[in-house]
Structure formats: structure tokens, C-alpha cells
Amino acid sequence: MSNSYRELIRDEVRELPFYVPGKPIEELRRERGLTNVVKLASNENSWGTDPAALDAIIKFLPDIFRYPDSKAYDLRLTIAASLGLKTEQFVFGNGSEEIIKLIALAFFRAGDEILMGKPTFPRYSSVSKMMGATPIELPCNNGYYPLERILDCITIHTRAVFICNPNNPTGTVLEEEHLREFVSRVPENVLLIFDEAYYEFMEIPFSGLLFLEEHPVIVLRTFSKAFGLAGLRIGFAISSSELIDGMERVREAFNVNALVQVAALAAWKNREYLQQIIAANAVERRYLTNELEGMGAKTFPSQTNFVMAFFPGMGTRLSEQLLDKGIIVRPGGGFGYPDGLRITVGTREENSMLLTALRNIITNKVT
Amino acid sequence: MSNSYRELIRDEVRELPFYVPGKPIEELRRERGLTNVVKLASNENSWGTDPAALDAIIKFLPDIFRYPDSKAYDLRLTIAASLGLKTEQFVFGNGSEEIIKLIALAFFRAGDEILMGKPTFPRYSSVSKMMGATPIELPCNNGYYPLERILDCITIHTRAVFICNPNNPTGTVLEEEHLREFVSRVPENVLLIFDEAYYEFMEIPFSGLLFLEEHPVIVLRTFSKAFGLAGLRIGFAISSSELIDGMERVREAFNVNALVQVAALAAWKNREYLQQIIAANAVERRYLTNELEGMGAKTFPSQTNFVMAFFPGMGTRLSEQLLDKGIIVRPGGGFGYPDGLRITVGTREENSMLLTALRNIITNKVT
């Protein structure tokens, strides 16, 4: 009987992989009876949420028995105005992970080929499979998104290309020049999806928005990283109104909760706090990178709030040993980097604890 | 050029209807310059959110820069224990509207037929179309879900049946006996989906859970109605672990935000507040129904927090005239009831304002 139940699941879904998130702090506490846990595994904003956003949440609490505004009216108006775009060029989602699913639902068909780098954010591949499309994963070059290989692999079946810039989990940024040339060579019926979750951390920010007039482009942004709202879930896509219309038709009416609408609005307006976070992150990323390299690790050049670091021959074991000490980082094995650790930039205190623990593990190993 | 963009949208999606939500209070204020607005249009809990849930939210605020627990661990454990089920029999969603989409993504294929009543919750039809399946809408009998007609329409192509009980927008409840006989006659490869969004308001609650052992069944519940958390978004499905596995594979990792996890847990545990809401709602529903019938309206017998009322020859105009007076109800036209108004049970103050306004409109019309 239960076997026949399993047969009710769509063929495309029955073996879809689960996303493996960074281990939650509570889970590590439960599992190992630890009290003091440092999490540098999910590229959250280590300095916490903008206090202005918290105030906005508290003020709105009496109204949460009401459904949220289906169109995120205030937030939409504000973001559209500050980017100089029309309100109908936006769709808001329950995190940009939901937006990625809306894109697949709106545009990907069985038999389509969807191109992407490897490693990159694993959801691009799974939503493609969910729709019966074929994800084609092309290896990054030394951590850089493989634009040339992508161009080589475009066929008449290619429906879309995902470009994660800065790329997760490598942290690298494409050169604007290089990207311009790439876009000019992509056929105009191929959708270009720029995932810019780490946009705010770029040294000289530039965006896929540059190509909005000349190509079918969707740009993704999130409030989960620099804006410190990962727990409340909101991301958005910017595109032409025609493509947004398709995504709106597969969106739930109340997909963006009421508290995150007011929180995101407050955080978006408070550029001062955002700049502080970006500055603190840059200082700490430099510190963390230097110290990691000082103990023999190699790193990819990062313009994000994480560092992909390689410890030849030690990666996977290292992440396990760090867990024993109450420190959670992301092991690189799932990304195809068995020697790698993806480490979120923490506060100075968190980074020091991580570095001390790493030094102890490595020293004990050598002696 | 923009025309070719539109062609990038999947055929199944290009004409999908948008859900039309109840008009938000802010929107009416903006449109008509009104300050005092009463909303009885979306079946929210008119008495507001459980204060215990609000406390839980405030306590959790410092942690919202972290991603939420992907598995809603604490909430899952608590609900599973109180229903005497296994934790792997649950999937949590961003409102039950997201769960409905997860069901479609996990189980519905092009060419499948999906049976449902009419009128009922419009998302059943739109998610079916989204997957290339055919929704077959069978007219309710005097507001009652059409079980006999559904049985008559089951074919080898039938993949699933949606049973909304109590039914939205009619408010009616099926008899347990009747439902038992229905289920015994449904082939065992047809998925039965019980949407029980209004379960807590039933006079003698009984659930599709009764059939969990004998049939592929999915039961939907929500915190948006009796639990007063519509703005924060959480619903869940209960099923066999095999069917849940399929839904988990199409779920985003962080689809349920962190604040609603703690709020729902607090609300679930506070049975006293829930009982107060249910009791207050029963009193006000009786009052509202009696008064509406007193002014000549017909109503369906409701076991929910709304009343479907019919004003022959007046429905659509009536809802417009109420808007002029700052009162939002749901016009029945969208449900196929042009004479109908779906009215949420409000507090005594809200109900009185509505009834006074209705009386004024009707009297002015007559004189």
C-alpha cells in the first residue's frame, strides 16, 4: 500500500534532492549538549538585524491577524522609486529561493536546457529538474563563473542561464567588461537570470540590470544577507513587466508576510546601517582571509560575506572537528570541494574563536 | 521585442487567473480618503492574534537575522505529539496556499483530472492548470460540497479530489456519515485532499484524518483563521510519510519564517484563547445571521467564521455601496453568486456597523 502511495509522486519529483542547509545552532546544541555555539555556515549578517527594522516589526504586531498586502504596496513603491524603475517590474517572494521557483514555474518546460556554473546555488538545478528541464552544470574556472563554457553550450534547447554574481559558494565576482561581452553573444530568446544575493558586498557594484533594455533579464535580490532579515524571508526579482506578469501568475497571493514587508522597508531606507555592515564585513573578511592564509589555507578572492577556504587533505574532517568545538561552518564536499570550507565572515569575536579552534585542530594534528 | 518576451512564459501559465484577495484596509483608505474602515472580507480572526503569540515573537526578534529552522522542529514535535502522529507525517508551508501548490507540484501531471466543488477555494483550480492538469469543477448543492457528482465524474484520469470542509465560500459542513461513504467509494489511487482551514469552528469537529490509514489522504490546516496569524503565514499538511516525502522535495528549505514558527507554537499551546475565540465567534455568527435574515437575506448554514448571505438583485451593488461607507465585504460575483456577499463574522462593534450600513442602503433603496 505505502509503495503505491510513492507512485503517486511525479516522476520528476520522486528523486529530487533535498537542500542541505547550514546546521542550525539549536540542532548542534541538542546533538552535542553544547551551550556556546558559533554559526558561520549560512552567510547571515553576523551583526544582526537593523534596529530600525525591529522597531517597524514591533509597531506592526497588532495587525498581524490580517492577511498581508498581496502586492507589498509600500515596499514596492519605495524600491521602484529608488531604482528608477516601474512598480510593475517587481515581484516579491518568500526569500529569493521562492523567486527561483517562480521563475521555473513561469518559464521552464520539459526538455528545456538550463545552464549554470558548478558549484553554484543548488536550487537552480533542482527547480529545473522539478519542471522536467535539464540542468547543465558547467565547472567554474578557479572559482569564477564559466561564461565561455556557457556560451559554448547554448543550443536551440537552451531556455535560460543562471548567473550567480557574486557566486555562491566561491565568492568571486565577474568583470563587468567580460559580462557585457557575454550578454551580447547570448541569443535573445535565452532568459538571463542574475542572482545578486550578495550584490551589496561588491567592491564596485554592477548589476544585471544593465542589460534589462536589451535582453530578457531577471535580476534577483534578497534581504537575507546584507539586510539581516534571513529569518523573516523576503527577496525580489526585477525584470520587464512582461516577464514579471508570468511570475505573478504562479505566485501565491500572500507569499510575503506582513512583518517582513515593514521590516524590509525600514531596512531599505536605513542606508547608514547598511553601510556600517558593509564596512565592518570588509574589515573582518580581510582579517579572516589573512589569518586563514597565514595557516596555509588557499582562498578564492571574495566580494561577499563569506570566504571559500581550502585545507588540502583536511576539509571534511576539519568541519566535523569544528562542530565538536561548537563551531559550525559549511563543509565544501557538497559543493564538490572536499578540501574546502565555506566560512561566513563573523564579528571579530566569532572570527577569533573560529581561528583559534582551527589552529588548535591543525596543531594537534601535526604533533 | 516585448511580445517575444511574453512568449517565454509557459503556455499553462500565460492566461492563469490572478487570485483576487479581499480589499486591504489601506487600499480602501487610499482610494476613497476614508479613515474609519471595517474589513469583513477575508475571514481573519476579528478578535486579533493570541497575546501569547505576540510575546513569543518579541522574545525571538534578536534572532531573525538567522535563517529559520528548515524543519520547524519545535512546532512539528508539539503538533505531532498532540495529534498522536509521527513527525514525518507533516509538512509546513507559507500558509496553506503554499501547501496547495506543493501538492500540485508533487502529484499533478499534464492530462490529470482534478475534481473539486464550485464554488470553493479558487487556488485548487489554478494550481491544477499550472501543472497542465484539468480542474473539473462540480456545482455545489445549495452550498453543500457535491460528493455524489464527484463520484460520478471519477475516471481513470482522475488524480485527486479537493474537499473543502467546511467549504469556503459557502460555510457548510459535510456529514461525517456521508463523507465516510464517499471515501469508501473513491478508488484507492485517487488522492483525497481535505482542506480544513476552518476546522476549529466546526460544531462537532471531524477530520479527513479519519481516513489516513485506508486511503491516500492529505489534510490541510492553517493558523490564518481561528489562530489569528494570517499576516505571518503558516499552514501545514498531514499525510502518510510517503506522500509527505514528495511534498518535502518541492518545498523550499526556508519556506516558513522564524517568527511564525514561535508564534504558531505559542498559539497552538494556548487552547484557552482558542476556545474563547471559537465561543465569541459562535455568538456573533448567530447574531449576524439572525440580523441578516431579519432584513430579508437568505444564508447558508455556516460552521465557520463567515456567513454567505444572499440579497436577491442587490449583491454586487451592495458591496460597492458598503465600500462607500468604509465597509469591506467579499462580493459573491467572483464565486458565481452575483446576489451574494461573503461576510466575515466580526466583533459585535464591527457587525453592528455593517448591519446599520446595510439597513441604511436597503431602506434608501426602497424609499
**Per-residue pLDDT at B366:** 53
Q: Which of A159, A231, A252 sits opposite B257 (nearest CB)?
A: A231
pLDDT band at A366 (very low <50, low <70, confident <90, very high): low
Percentage of chain B modeled with pLDDT above 70? 98
A21–B67 CB contact, under 8 Å = yes
- Residues of chain A in contact with residue B6, where contact means CB-CB under 8 angstroms, are 242, 245-246
Q: Which fold has domain A51-269?
A: Aspartate Aminotransferase; domain 2 (3.40.640)
**Per-residue pLDDT at B332:** 94
pLDDT at position A355 over 50: yes
- Residues of chain A in contact with residue B10, where contact means CB-CB under 8 angstroms, are 105-109, 246
Q: How many CA atoms lie within 13 A of A145 on its CB side?
A: 29
Please write the tens of the pLDDT for every residue from A105-128.
Answer: 999 999 999 999 999 999 999 999
Question: Scanning the structure block, which residue is given the C-alpha cell 582579517?
Answer: A287
pLDDT at position A367 over 80: no
B 182-241 residues with CB < 8 A to A: 188-189, 191, 216, 224, 228-233, 240
3-state secondary structure of A18: coil
Percentage of chain A modeled with pLDDT above 70? 98
Q: Tell me what the mean pLDDT of segment A184-212 comes to.
A: 97
With beta carbons less than 8 A apart as the criterion, state whether B197 and B168 touch. yes
**Per-residue pLDDT at B1:** 43
pLDDT at position B2 over 70: no
Please write the tens of the pLDDT for every residue from B69-99.
Answer: 999 999 999 999 999 999 999 999 999 999 9
Pairing status of strand B158-164 against strand B191-195: parallel
- Mean pLDDT score across all residues of chain A: 96
3-state secondary structure of B245: helix
Please write the tens of the pLDDT for every residue from A41-57.
Answer: 999 999 999 999 999 99
Please write the tens of the pLDDT for every residue from A297-327.
Answer: 999 999 999 999 999 988 778 999 999 999 9
- Mean pLDDT score across all residues of chain B: 96
Q: How far is B145 from chain A (nearest CA, A)?
A: 24
A101 and chain B in contact, CB less than 8 A: yes
Domain chopping of chain B, boundaries: 19-48+272-366, 51-269
**Per-residue pLDDT at A365:** 66
**Per-residue pLDDT at B83:** 98
Q: Tell me what the mean pLDDT of segment A155-180 comes to.
A: 98
Q: Which of A4, A58, A64 sits opposite B189 (nearest CB)?
A: A4
pLDDT at position A1 over 70: no
Please write the tens of the pLDDT for every residue from B97-142.
Answer: 999 999 999 999 999 999 999 999 999 999 999 999 999 999 999 9
- Residues of chain A in contact with residue B124, where contact means CB-CB under 8 angstroms, are none
Cell of B33: 480618503
pLDDT at position A82 over 60: yes
B64–A216 CB contact, under 8 Å = no
Q: Does domain A19-48+272-366 correspond to CATH entry 3.90.1150.10?
A: yes
B 105-144 residues with CB < 8 A to A: 105-109, 123, 130
Please write the tens of the pLDDT for every residue from B141-184.
Answer: 999 999 999 999 999 999 999 999 999 999 999 999 999 999 99
3-state secondary structure of A340: strand
B42–A66 CB contact, under 8 Å = yes
**Per-residue pLDDT at B189:** 95
Q: Rounded distance, CA A234 to CA B264, Å?
A: 20
Backbone angles phi, psi at A143, to 5 degrees: 90, -10
- Residues of chain A in contact with residue B14, where contact means CB-CB under 8 angstroms, are 246, 249
Pairing status of strand B134-139 against strand B113-118: parallel
ipTM greater than 0.95, yes or no? yes
Least confident of A23-32, A54-63, A171-180, B288-297: A23-32
Greatest Cα pair distance in chain B:
63
A19-48+272-366 and A51-269 in the same fold: no
Q: How far is B309 from chain A (nearest CA, A)?
A: 22
Q: Can you give the pTM of this predicted structure?
A: 0.97
DSSP string, A267-336: HHH-HHHHHHHHHHHHHHHHHHHHHHHHTT-EE---SSSEEEEE-TTTHHHHHHHHHHTTEE-EEGGGGT
Q: Tell me what the mean pLDDT of segment A260-283 comes to.
A: 98
B 270-299 residues with CB < 8 A to A: none
Q: Which of A69, A123, A252 sits opposite B26 (nearest CB)?
A: A69
Q: Tell me what the mean pLDDT of segment B53-67 comes to.
A: 98
With beta carbons less than 8 A apart as the criterion, state whether A246 and B130 touch. no
